[in-house]
Structure 1
Amino acid sequence: MMLPTAVSLNLGGLRLSACRLVLLALFLPMLFQLLTNQRGRLHLFDALVLVHCFWALLALIKWGGLVQGIESGGIYVVECAGAYLVGRLYIRSCEDFVAMARVYVGLVLATLVFTVPEALTGIHFLHDSLASAFGGPKAAYIEPRMGIERTFGPFDHPILYGVFSASAFSLAYFVLAERQLGKFGNFSKVAGVGMATFMSASGGPYVVLMVQMFVCAWERILGAVQGRWAALFTLFAIAYLAIDLLSNRTPFHVFVEYLTFSKQSAYNRILVFEYGSAEVARHPLFGIGLGDWVRPVWMSDSIDNFWLVTAVRYGLPAFFLQVGLVLGIVWAVGQRQGFPPAWRRARHAWAFTLFGICVAAATVHLWNALFVLFFFLIGTGAWMLDASPTRSRTLRRTPAFLHAIRPVRLF
């Protein structure tokens, strides 16, 4: 995920990035493991991912015909279901989740070695050096913000780097720091993630970070109060109604205007939503595929709203399947009882990360590496649906030499 798009192979009309090549190699073996229950029982949320991908494939076939639809839809299936399956099948215990979090946060912190000088000099060290090595284009010029250059890191746009970094915040706070910021090592990990996010100078990543910080503070202050999450969403609903009643604008307009850097950007996002939702109303079942959408001639074809892009391209069924997957799996994991403290921290980190990305996805589009990251992160929490804390503690008491000779890890 951390390699620029230029690091890719072009076969016919297909661009195979490093990430796509890995997912292509793993896809069929992972699908076989899933369907044969080799790594946890098959459940509803696996089906939602597969049906969502199938519907998107149908929409693309309807748009471009059988050959073009299978070519474009096949890549979508590999990136969406493939990324989900990597997290779903290979993160099968709390220990696996902690190891993933350690690597993820470590990668974000390592990029600071390059992105801090990048923000000060405007030289895109990682992106341009990797792209040049593979004959790809250098990073496009983007105007500075807040007195710093917007950093790309190894990604294709500052938003991608920012969301990648911001998504590690809850993992750093709950899993690595274990909610204790008194030690320098713990604080530096959390602060480092915040600094990496800041270097992107992008509104979407800041939303991901702020939403996570808010819910982390809510959990820290009201951690012992029953019904605190129901109370939080009740407050959100009340705030939504209050804005709707007291403002001459819709809550969506207010949300977009205050969470973007400029009025021009906010106005453009509002227009995108209005014309995009009108396109969904005209093509509710299968969307318009990768076709062009109706808009004024002076508007860009970019839709800075991940949820809207799904509905416009693949229709409302694909949109509802996607939303149902995220909300359903988080709700199902949240209903499980008897988790030990380490598991509860992992659950908070996972759910808060997804919550932050989902809110920000209303103002940014998730594409390339960021799209893969989102579905990978959804899959990394699936182990909490059926893993047993009692069995996990039993396995940890098994002598170390038995773990060393066991050919297959049991869960």
Structure 2
Amino acid sequence: MDQITLLIAAFGSVSVVLLSPPRALAAYVGVLVWYPSYLTVQVGTIDLSVSRIVITVFLLRCITSPCLRTRFTRDALDIWVLASLLIGMTAYYLANPSSRSFENRLGFFTDTAFVYVCFRLAIHDRASFVLFVKLTAVIVAALALVGLAEAVSFRHYFAWLKAYRRWRTPGPEMVEAIPEGRWGFVRACGPFGHPIMFGITFAMFLPLVCMLRREKGLWRYATWVLAGLLAIGALSSMSSGPWVMLIAVLFFLALKRWRQWFKHLVIGALVLILLVSIVSNRPFYHVLFSFANPLGGAGWHRARLIDAAIDTVGQWWLAGFGGRDPGWGRYVGMAWTDITNHYLLIA
């Protein structure tokens, strides 16, 4: 599998060198979402995924291109974004000083800062941005069809590749067993490691695809087909996280037409939260998760983890838990803290 991974990385690297910057950026997105990130090439103690190799090559191309550098104009957002990334890396390392945490944050920096810098250098006007969005929309929409196929066929087509992961060797049951279904469908995850990440990907790209409705000709009508496929991709994960994110995206896309009502909606929501908390004599999120609980148990679980975060805020507000389990499992009768609050474990 190492040879195949290197071959894919080489093909992606050549693509981002030869293609125009917007097309090269779309090629990187294609590699990122279609090739499993858990398939890596080991260099010393560092595991290099295909996406990290490709974005590093693309970054070298961008910073060595006089044409791309001269068109770049720095603004305040660039400083804020890069500063926040550096602060996050430093806080994590200080909370958990080790060579492993340094490698972890170095990978995080590659996945975030490298991509941000490449995007800022490669996309310089509306035409280049629209071209990138068109190509990315087709790439991600095709992946949504895989999600739909997995959801209805009760098969994970990429599951057999998990046997080649370096950091964890699953047993045969993890690769071959039919996954648990929900409402007659399986939780699709495609080439991703988890259905939640798979579904969130489609909801994340949906606003970009919807901007194509302003284009003329075929793309104006194709936008609705592509947007529908991305919505199906998010739903195919059968996970509440992507579903809620999809609802939020659709809500804010609709709200864009009535932006003058946004302030009134925020004030109304705050008043409603206050009234519900007073009348029910319990936190608003307890009431919300009691009714907005389509997957059974997940809502109560999340409400209790919010309680845990509030009760222990003095322990994690500055630097998290340094990668250690905070022991919140006792709030929900579990021996470990669920991945729902993984953001605190790696903060």
Q: TM-score range by the shorter chain?
A: 0.7 to 0.9
> Between the two proteins, what is the percent identity of the paired residues?
22
Q: What does residue 235 of structure 1 align with?
A: 268
Secondary structure of the 2:320 match is coil
The residue identity in structure 2 corresponding to 1:301 is T
Change (3 A) 1:313 1:194: closer
Q: How is 1:4-19 mapped onto 2 (pairs within 5 angstroms)?
A: 4-19=36-51
Q: Which moved more, 1:88-97 or 1:154-163?
A: 88-97
Once the two structures are TM-superposed, the CA of residue 27 in structure 1 deviates from its matched residue by 5.4
Counterpart contact for 2:62–2:69, Cα < 8 Å: no
Q: What does residue 85 of structure 1 align with?
A: 117
Q: What does residue 44 of structure 1 align with?
A: 76
Change (3 A) 1:240 1:104: farther
Q: What does residue 103 of structure 1 align with?
A: 135
**1:301 pairs with 2:332:** no
Change (3 A) 1:42 1:278: farther
Secondary structure of the 1:105 match is helix
Q: How is 1:8-407 mapped onto 2 (pairs within 5 angstroms)?
A: 8-26=40-58, 38-65=70-97, 67-125=99-157, 127-128=158-159, 131=162, 138=175, 142-176=179-213, 185-220=222-257, 222=258, 227-296=260-329, 298-305=334-341, 309=343, 313-314=346-347
Counterpart contact for 1:61–1:67, Cα < 8 Å: no
CA distance in 2, matches of 1:168, 1:158: 16
Q: What does residue 328 of structure 1 align with?
A: none
| Higher helix proportion | 2
Counterpart contact for 1:243–1:251, Cα < 8 Å: yes
Once the two structures are TM-superposed, the CA of residue 28 in structure 1 deviates from its matched residue by 6.8
Counterpart contact for 2:240–2:295, Cα < 8 Å: no
CA distance in 2, matches of 1:85, 1:260: 40
The residue identity in structure 2 corresponding to 1:213 is L
Q: What does residue 27 of structure 2 align with?
A: none
Counterpart contact for 1:275–1:294, Cα < 8 Å: no
Change (3 A) 1:6 1:61: closer
Counterpart contact for 1:57–1:69, Cα < 8 Å: no
Deviation per CA, 1:207-244: give whole Å up to 9, x if none. Answer: 12111222233334x36xxx333233333333333333
Change (3 A) 1:219 1:304: same
Q: What does residue 395 of structure 1 align with?
A: none
CA distance in 2, matches of 1:53, 1:148: 38
Change (3 A) 1:130 1:292: closer
Deviation per CA, 1:163-184: give whole Å up to 9, x if none. Answer: 1112233233332465999x86
Q: Which moved more, 1:154-163 or 1:135-144?
A: 135-144
- Aligned-residue Cα RMSD (Å) equals 3.5
Counterpart contact for 1:173–1:179, Cα < 8 Å: no
CA distance in 2, matches of 1:62, 1:261: 40
Counterpart contact for 2:145–2:233, Cα < 8 Å: no
The residue identity in structure 2 corresponding to 1:238 is V
The residue identity in structure 1 corresponding to 2:336 is S
Deviation per CA, 1:243-300: give whole Å up to 9, x if none. Answer: 3333333223334444443342122212222323444412433232212213245243
The residue identity in structure 2 corresponding to 1:196 is G
Counterpart contact for 1:63–1:291, Cα < 8 Å: no
Change (3 A) 1:39 1:228: farther
Secondary structure of the 1:168 match is helix
The residue identity in structure 1 corresponding to 2:38 is A
Change (3 A) 1:131 1:295: closer
The residue identity in structure 2 corresponding to 1:128 is A
Counterpart contact for 2:212–2:223, Cα < 8 Å: no
Counterpart contact for 1:61–1:70, Cα < 8 Å: yes
CA distance in 1, matches of 2:59, 2:321: 27
> What is the TM-score when the length of structure 1 is the normalising length?
0.63
> What is the TM-score when the length of structure 2 is the normalising length?
0.73
Secondary structure of the 2:182 match is coil
Counterpart contact for 1:166–1:209, Cα < 8 Å: yes
Once the two structures are TM-superposed, the CA of residue 106 in structure 1 deviates from its matched residue by 0.9
Once the two structures are TM-superposed, the CA of residue 162 in structure 1 deviates from its matched residue by 1.1
Deviation per CA, 1:334-378: give whole Å up to 9, x if none. Answer: xxxxxxxxxxxxxxxxxxxxxxxxxxxxxxxxxxxxxxxxxxxxx
Once the two structures are TM-superposed, the CA of residue 43 in structure 1 deviates from its matched residue by 2.8
Counterpart contact for 2:154–2:179, Cα < 8 Å: no
Change (3 A) 1:239 1:24: farther
Once the two structures are TM-superposed, the CA of residue 122 in structure 1 deviates from its matched residue by 1.2
CA distance in 2, matches of 1:139, 1:53: 39
Counterpart contact for 2:321–2:346, Cα < 8 Å: yes
